[in-house]
Amino acid sequence: MANRETMRKIHRYLRGRQGAMVELLGKVVTLESPSDNPAAVERVARFLAGEWKKRGAKVNLIPAKGRGPILRAEIPRKRPPSSYGLRRAGGAQQVLGLGHLDTVYSVGTLKRMPFKVSSGRALGPGTVDMKAGVVQALFAVEALRALRLHPAAKLVFLFTSDEEVGSAAGRPVLEAEARKSRAVLVMEPSTGLQGALKTARKGVGEFEIIVEGRAAHAGVEPEKGVNAVHELAEQIVRLKKLVPRSRDGLTLNVDVVEGGTRTNVIAERARAQVDVRIARMTDGKWIERQMRRLKPVDKRAKLIVRGGINRPPLERTARVVSLFRHAEKLAGELGMKLEQSATGGGSDGNFTAGLGVPTLDGLGGVGGGMHSPGEFVLVRHMPERAALLAGLLLTL
Ligand SMILES: [Zn+2]
C-alpha cells in the first residue's frame, strides 16, 4: 500500500512536470490519428514508442489488419508480488493499462480546431478522448521510475488503433493480455468535471432487420405486391413493445431505416438498424433470443435478422467496487474526493470486464466535449490524475 507520503511525493514530482505533460499532449494531438487512416495512426504510435522507450519500457508495435499498429509497452517487475495481487487475482502476474491511439477526427481537422491552451483548458481533436490519458500514463510511469518506486506487478500497456470503430482488430490482442492480468486500468476520459471514475458501462448490441417483400405496380396490380416498408413498420411497433420495464437498463432504439425505390412501386426491400444497450449480460442473451424470434406479420414477407451483442457490459461487481475503493483511498491521500459513475457508452474496458477481470475505467483526462469541436481537457487535473494512476500501478 502506498502511504500518504509516497502518494504526495509522486504528486509533487508530477506537478513539476505539468508543463512537460501539456507540451507532449500538444505533440500527440498534432499527430492526427483517425481510426480509418492506418498511416496516420502509425505515425503517432511510432512517436509514442520513442517516449515509452525513454521511460524504460520494452516496446513493440503489433500489426493490426487494415488498421494502424497497436502499441504495447512493458515494464518488468522488480520486486515480489503484493499481497493485493496474491489475495485477489488468482496468481495473475501483471496489471494492464489500456488506451487507444485513434480518434474520430479526420486528418486536417487541426486547421479548424488547432491545439491550444486557454483558460486552463487544452483544446483540440482527441485531447480528452483520449490523448490526455495516453500522456498521463507515460508520466505516471516516469514518476515511478524517477522516484525509484517499484510496482508490485509487471506492467503492460496497450494502446489500440480501432477503439472508435468497434475494436475488431484490438479486441483479440487486448483480451489475450487481460487474461494474464489481475486488474485492468482504462485511461478513457472520466465522467464530468469532477473526474468520476467509471465502474459500470452498458453493453452494446447492434442488429439489422432486413425485410424482403415483392415489387409490383402500386396502381395496376397492388395485390401482387408484398410491401416491405409496411412490414418493417409493423416490426418496429413490435420492437417498441418488446422490452418490459422489469429489464432495467435495457434500451432498444431503431436509429436507421431505409426502404423502397419509388412511389409507384411497392417496396420490395426495407431495412432497419437497431441499437441495443444492456446493463447485464443475461439481458443480452434475452434480447438476442427475442430478435431471432421475430416473425413476419404478412406471411409472404421474409425477415432476416442479423447482429447481436458486440460489447458485454462492464458490471459493477464486488471486485470492481473493491478496486474502486482502493483507488478512492489513494486519491484521498492526495486530498482528492473520487466518485464513481455509470455510463451507457462502451469502451474496450467492456471486453476485459466481460472476461471477469476487474476493470476500472475513466482514469484518463478530466474534460468534456468529446467527439465535438469543443473537445477539451483540464490541464490542472493532469498531474493528479497521473499520480492516481501511478499509485494504482505501484500497489496493485
Ligand atoms: Zn475513447
Catalytic residue among 163, 164, 177, 188: 163
pLDDT for 81 equals 57
Please provide the DSSP assignment of 157-193 as one string.
EEEES-GGGT-TTHHHHHHHHHHTEEEEEE-S--BTT
Q: From the CA atom positions of the chain, what is the Rg in Å?
A: 24
Residue type, 51: E
pLDDT for 91 equals 61
Distance 106 CA to ligand 1 centre (A): 15
Digit-coded pLDDT (tens) for 6-45? 999 999 999 999 999 999 999 999 999 999 999 999 999 9
Per the CB < 8 A criterion, the answer to whether 127 and 29 are in contact is yes
Digit-coded pLDDT (tens) for 194-223? 999 999 999 999 999 999 999 999 999 999
pLDDT for 1 equals 54
Digit-coded pLDDT (tens) for 328-386? 999 999 999 999 999 998 999 999 999 999 999 999 999 999 999 999 999 999 999 99
Distance 27 CA to ligand 1 centre (A): 18
Grade residue 90 by pLDDT with cuts at 50, 70 and 90. Answer: low
Average pLDDT, the chain: 94
pLDDT for 244 equals 86
Q: Which residue has the higher pLDDT, 85 or 194?
A: 194
Integer Cα distance of 50 and 63 in angstroms: 17
Distance 327 CA to ligand 1 centre (A): 21
Distance 35 CA to ligand 1 centre (A): 11
Cβ-count burial of 188 within 10 angstroms (0-12 exposed, 13-18 middle, 19+ buried)?
A: buried
Res 88 pLDDT > 70 = no
Grade residue 86 by pLDDT with cuts at 50, 70 and 90. Answer: very low
Grade residue 83 by pLDDT with cuts at 50, 70 and 90. Answer: low
Catalytic, 163? Answer: yes
Integer Cα distance of 249 and 284 in angstroms: 11
Q: Which residues surround ligand 1, an ion (CB under 5 A)?
A: 129-130, 188
Grade residue 264 by pLDDT with cuts at 50, 70 and 90. Answer: very high
